Amino acid sequence: MNSASKEIRANPRLLIYGECVRIEHPEILREFSKGRVALAACPEGEHINVISLKVASILCRVDLEDLLVLSVDGSPHCVQLHHAVEEALKTSRSPVRVRHLVIYKGRVSEISKEAVKAARYLYKIENLIRKAYDLE
């Protein structure tokens, strides 16, 4: 889709979802697509730099009302979708409100930006696990 698409300008509420959501959880996709322009991406087939640049291009050209990111949880590829959007936010300096959502065992949970960021740092995750299970 064009970064300044008429569709996005007419409806500045965006959903970016992992392609597998369409197949694995079509009912959830329908629910979260309502009233939004829904764009699919798959970090397994598309490098996250490409996804991030596209999202940043949209953010620089359209004043979005809000942005949802929806993926399955536990996928090493889908987690990158959340990272790509966060990088796009930094690059574009967009003030848009972003919500990160994951599907785990058929249920949708909202994930904080802090969790998305922490997921990039295995050392920090290891320390959190050690503290949570009193392994130190």
Continuous H helices in 1-136: 6-10, 19-24, 26-33, 48-61, 78-92, 113-118, 122-132
Q: pLDDT for 18-73, tens place per residue?
A: 999 999 999 999 999 999 999 999 999 999 999 999 999 999 999 999 999 999 99
Q: pLDDT for 78-91, tens place per residue?
A: 999 999 999 999 99
Dist CA 91 CA 49 (whole Å): 12
Are the C-beta atoms of residues 42 and 75 closer than 8 Å to each other? no
Domain positions in the chain are 6-132
Look up the CATH architecture of domain 6-132: 3-Layer(aba) Sandwich (3.40)
